[in-house]
């Protein structure tokens, strides 16, 4: 009627398209998120018709990530998480290294320098939390042993991504213009500077976790207790949303961590309180709405023209994500002495990329470490791997249950 209505139109039209896409996808037997992604392409700048606000969409997506990570955090107890650290930490670190090496060997053939190769490789190595959670939830495996390991694995990846994001500007000076063959960063003078930055990030993370568990846990418990005692439903809802978004924001603002990581830790803390059940119920509709907006925002980044311009490179990127990461993760989990079934599920659920990769790509482009083509490849790879992921996970689960039945028979 008047004023700016960019936010309202983005939410209204984005969700309307998401509903249509999600419904059709669901009827076709696909998970709704595939429909949301297609909806995102439809409201994106590369297709005709309505174009959503490209500045607001990523922020709505971020809120989706925050709410979802908070929800996962509530699901998991600290004990569950610590129980999987023997697999998750070495697994994630090994897998990132492998994905990097694989990408680098391919981009070497394309004649790319070390900088772009590194950024692309990192982007392809980290999986999307939201996709993983939705997929595990859809298959009812969030609470399974494999589900827990996969989530723990992703938390390590999240930490590594934050670390990389903080280090990239420092690395940028080092890497710009170096050819991929000229691989000698070991004797670099600013190695000490890198270590310092690394130490600061880790220090901040540890400080945040300590703060949350020593002070935050009590504070949040006290807060929820107090608010619940007022018997005001609206204040309780507000308290839960504040716990998720407020702490996510605080973690990003004060500790330099990702929103997602902050919200996850906040969720773990709230999950330990007596009100976790009610909190989860209150949060559900908000989570659903904003998770849909997350996928729409991801779809918006996709330029379908890349499929025509660079079909082979798109194929190679998808192969790295879906095949390369699947095989690598499977071998690593087996190496860490977990059963084949578990390894299959974890490998399948991590064979995709998403929001972290987009952030990496964007920073890479900003720092001139990644050509625009690299960003398009990452978005295309994300979209295709996410769409394929539910089939992959479905297949992995079918094989697992067949294996289980043949063992028990």
**Sites of contact with a copy of itself (CB under 8 A):** 1-9, 11-13, 15-16, 18-19, 22-23, 26-27, 32, 55-56, 58-60, 62-63, 66, 165, 226-227, 230, 232-235, 237-239, 241-242, 245-246, 248-250, 252-253, 256, 258-259, 282-286, 288-289, 291-292, 359, 362-363
Q: What sign results for the dihedral spanned by CA atoms 385, 344, 75, 246?
A: negative
CB of 355 to a copy of itself, least distance (A): 11
Q: 55 or 79: whose CB is closer to a copy of itself?
A: 55
- 78 to each of 134, 139, 148, 270, how far by Cα in Å? 21, 23, 11, 11
Q: Which one, 56 or 89, has the nearer CB to a copy of itself? A: 56
Provide, rounded to whole angstroms, the least separation between the CB of residue 114 and a copy of itself: 23
Q: Is 199 helix (H, G, I), strand (E, B) or coil?
A: helix
Closer CB to a copy of itself, 27 or 79, in the complex: 27
Q: Which own/partner pairs from 222-227 qualify as long-range (CB within 8 Å, at least 24 positions apart)?
A: 224/270, 224/273, 224/275, 224/279, 225/273, 225/275
Q: CB of residue 247 vs a copy of itself: minimum separation in angstroms?
A: 9
If the CB atoms of residues 82 and 372 are measured against a copy of itself, the closer one turns out to be: 372
For a copy of itself, give the closer residue by CB, 330 or 358: 358
Between 12 and 335, CB nearer to a copy of itself? 12
Q: CA–CA distance from 332 to each of 99, 129, 223, 340 (Å)?
A: 12, 20, 43, 11
Minimum CB separation of residue 269 from a copy of itself in Å reads 16
CB 36 within 8 A of CB 296: yes
> Between 204 and 334, whose beta carbon lies closer to a copy of itself?
204
Report d(CA 287, CA 133) in Å as an integer. 12
Nearest 10 degrees: Cα torsion 188, 189, 194, 197: 180
How far apart CA 130 and CA 400 sit, in angstroms, is 23
Closest distance to a copy of itself from the beta carbon of 308 (Å): 29
Q: Please check whether residue 188 is in contact with residue 219, taking contact to mean a CB–CB distance below 8 angstroms.
A: no
**H or E segment and range at residue 211:** helix 191-211
Shortest Cβ 231–a copy of itself spacing (Å) = 9
Q: What is the spatial distance between Cα 180 and Cα 111, in angstroms, rounded to a whole number?
A: 8
183 contacts: CB under 8 Å, gap ≥ 6? 114
Q: Name the residue nearer to a copy of itself (CB basis): 258 or 329.
A: 258
The distance of closest approach from Cβ of residue 385 to a copy of itself in the complex, given in angstroms and rounded to an integer, is 21
CB of 199 to a copy of itself, least distance (A): 19
219 vs 211: CA distance, rounded Å: 11
What is d(CA 217, CA 266) in angstroms, rounded to the nearest whole number?
8
- The smaller minimum CB distance to a copy of itself, of residues 242 and 327, is found at 242
> What is the smallest separation between the CB atom of 102 and a copy of itself, expressed in angstroms?
27
Neighbouring C-beta atoms of residue 143, cutoff 10 Å: 12
């Amino acid at each position: 009627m008047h004023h700016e209505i960019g936010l309202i139109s983005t939410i209204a039209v984005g969700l309307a398209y998401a509903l249509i896409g999600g419904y059709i996808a669901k009827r076709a037997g696909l998970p709704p998120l595939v429909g949301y992604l297609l909806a995102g392409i439809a409201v994106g700048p590369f297709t005709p018709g309505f174009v959503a606000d490209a500045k607001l969409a990523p922020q709505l997506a971020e809120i989706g990530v925050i709410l979802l990570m908070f929800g996962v955090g509530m699901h998991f107890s600290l004990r569950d998480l610590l129980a999987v650290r023997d697999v998750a930490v070495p697994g994630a670190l090994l897998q990132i290294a492998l994905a990097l090496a694989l990408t680098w060997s391919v981009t070497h053939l394309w004649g790319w320098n070390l900088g772009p190769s590194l950024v692309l490789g990192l982007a392809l190595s980290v999986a999307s939390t939201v996709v993983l959670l939705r997929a595990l939830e859809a298959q009812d495996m969030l609470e399974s042993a494999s589900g827990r390991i996969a989530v723990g694995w992703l938390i390590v990846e999240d930490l590594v991504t934050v670390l990389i994001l903080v280090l990239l500007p420092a690395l940028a000076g080092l890497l710009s213009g170096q050819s991929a063959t000229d691989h000698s960063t070991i004797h670099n003078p600013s190695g000490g500077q890198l270590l310092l930055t690394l130490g600061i990030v880790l220090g901040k993370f540890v400080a945040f976790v300590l703060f949350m568990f020593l002070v935050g846990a009590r504070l949040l418990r006290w807060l929820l207790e107090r608010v619940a005692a007022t018997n005001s439903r609206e204040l309780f809802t507000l308290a839960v949303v504040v716990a998720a978004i407020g702490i996510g924001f605080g973690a990003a603002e004060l500790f330099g961590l990702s929103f997602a990581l902050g919200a996850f830790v906040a969720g773990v803390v709230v999950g330990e309180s007596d009100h976790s059940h009610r909190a989860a119920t209150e949060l559900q509709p908000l989570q659903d709405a904003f998770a849909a907006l997350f996928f729409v925002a991801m779809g918006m980044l996709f330029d379908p023209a890349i499929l025509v311009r660079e079909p082979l490179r798109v194929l190679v990127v998808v192969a790295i994500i879906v095949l390369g990461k699947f095989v690598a993760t499977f071998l690593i989990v087996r190496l860490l002495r977990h059963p084949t079934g578990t390894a299959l599920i974890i490998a399948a659920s991590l064979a995709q990329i998403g929001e972290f990769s987009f952030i990496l790509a964007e920073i890479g482009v900003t720092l001139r470490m990644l050509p625009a083509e690299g960003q398009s490849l990452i978005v295309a790879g994300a979209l295709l791997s996410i769409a394929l992921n539910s089939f992959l996970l479905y297949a992995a689960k079918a094989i697992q249950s067949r294996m289980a039945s043949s063992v028990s028979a």
